[in-house]
Amino acid sequence: MPSSTEILIVGAGLAGLRLASQLEERAIPYRLIEARDRFGGRIKTHLVGEGYFDMGPAWFWDGQPRIHALIERLGLEIFEQYAEGAQSYEDENGTVHRGVGASMMIGSKRLIGGLAGLIDAMVAQLPNHKLATKTVLERVEFDGAHVQAFVTQDGRQEVITAGHIVLCVPPRVATQKIKFQPPLPLQTVHAMDNIATWMAGQAKAVAVYDQPFWRTAGLSGDAMSRAGPMVEIHDASPHRGGPYGLFGFIGIPAESRRDEQKLRHAVLQQFGRLFGAEALKPRQLYLKDWALDSNTTAPLDLKPVYAHPDYKLPRAMQGLCDGRLLFGSTEVAPRFGGYLEGALEAADSVAHSIEQTRQESSAHAPKAIA
């Protein structure tokens, strides 16, 4: 069944929701579609009683103005990452050393309620009829005047004609999942495939406990390890009250962590080495391997990234389909690419570009003769 809109936003993570909010404020017609069955994209929070545990990004920092302003506008609250107590280090033999430095995360900010609270608050401010989950963009066609999006939702196909399509999804995922007619230029595909998806190869473990026993033992929850499988561990507890948590970034390659039961056992054993016998019996142990999430990760992302990529919007990805195909994920933000702030930065840039295009079109439109 055909339909139309001025702007079609693909991907309802932080960037897509931010862009939708900007267009809503400007009264610019849009639709927002998401392939997953939930909003948030790489933001995912587990709730355990009154505790909240982020399985994707968790932190933001001073000097990132957009995320702070958004949280304030939505009436949400910030707290500082727990950083009191000794840091631990596990050498390659599994021997644990205490007091090897101050917490690595002093000054890092988190959101009371977890980052899913931010997503929920943003969704609540948007009209339901403009949002759709479980809606997959399969093909984009450009006829010289409009772009047409061929989408599938619950087995039903729909063709959406739009003035612009904004891909708020990782560029590598777009080249894997979306067919373009006519095909995108080879240099564009090459540029898109060269942009590493932030967090794509990551896996995260969160162990939930009734008591923060590491704190009473004088430990911050911070640890670095050369024994693994986790290479970096931090306190993941909520602002106040329990349950409490520890989380770790899993450092072994994606292809080596396919056996979940084996990985769970190894993670628990490492928590035990680092924090004692109490750590061996969590209330819950959550694993999220983003490398297995096809809406986040493309095959090229399975190669480890050892440094923060130099993110920006390459020239080959600009001006496509006469400027009607745009990119708005955190990977194209020039200053804060890869961060939550980068998702907001990219969305703001697209919103500004759309507003500018509309103003130019209005200025060149034929004037009625009185």
Q: How confident is the model over 335-362, as pLDDT tens digits? A: 999 999 999 999 999 999 999 988 887 7
Can you list the positions of beta strands (E) in 251-366?
284-289, 325-327
Q: How confident is the model over 193-216, as pLDDT tens digits? A: 999 999 898 999 999 999 999 999
CA distances from 220 to 49, 73, 85, 86, 323 (A): 23, 32, 4, 5, 50
Return phi, psi of residue 250, to 5°. -85, 125
What is residue 313's predicted lDDT score, i.e. its pLDDT? 97
Residue 369: pLDDT over 70: no
Q: How confident is the model over 214-227, as pLDDT tens digits? A: 999 999 999 999 99
d(CA 152, CA 10): 13
Of residues 6, 137, 18, the one with CA closest to residue 66: 18
Three-state DSSP at 359 gives: helix
What is residue 370's predicted lDDT score, i.e. its pLDDT? 43
Residue 228, Cβ density class (10 Å: 0-12 exposed, 13-18 middle, ≥19 buried): middle
The answer to whether 309 touches 170, Cβ cutoff 8 Å, is no
> Higher model confidence: residue 366 or residue 132?
132
The model's confidence at residue 366, banded by pLDDT at 50, 70 and 90, is low
d(CA 27, CA 54): 33
Give 46-69 as a DSSP string.
Answer: EEETTEEEESS---B-TT-HHHHH
Q: To the nearest whole percent, how much of the chain has pLDDT over 90? A: 86
Give the rounded distance of the alpha carbon of 190 from its chain centre: 23
**Placement of tokens 């024994």 in the chain:** 227
Tallying the residues shown for the chain, one arrives at 370
Select the CATH number that applies to the domain covering 1-46+113-196+307-370 from these four: 3.40.50.1820, 2.40.170.20, 3.10.129.10, 3.50.50.60. Answer: 3.50.50.60
The answer to whether 229 touches 329, Cβ cutoff 8 Å, is no
Select the CATH number that applies to the domain covering 78-111+201-295 from these four: 3.90.660.10, 3.40.50.800, 3.30.420.40, 3.90.1580.10. Answer: 3.90.660.10
CB within 8 A of 206, min separation 6: which ones?
Answer: 46, 53, 55, 236, 245, 246, 247, 284, 285, 286
Both tokens of residue 219? 């430990």
The amino acid present at 299, given as its one-letter code, is P
What is residue 1's predicted lDDT score, i.e. its pLDDT? 62
Task: Report the mean per-residue pLDDT for the chain.
Answer: 94
Q: Where are the domains of the chain?
A: 1-46+113-196+307-370, 78-111+201-295
Residue 206, Cβ density class (10 Å: 0-12 exposed, 13-18 middle, ≥19 buried): buried
Q: How confident is the model over 241-279, as pLDDT tens digits? A: 999 999 999 999 888 898 999 999 999 999 999 999 999
What is residue 239's predicted lDDT score, i.e. its pLDDT? 95
Residue 128, Cβ density class (10 Å: 0-12 exposed, 13-18 middle, ≥19 buried): exposed
Q: How confident is the model over 17-67, as pLDDT tens digits? A: 999 999 999 999 999 999 999 999 999 999 999 999 999 999 999 999 999
Going by their DSSP bridges, the two strands 2-10 and 30-33 should be labelled as: parallel
d(CA 262, CA 176): 30
Half-sphere exposure of 40 (CA within 13 A, CB side): 20
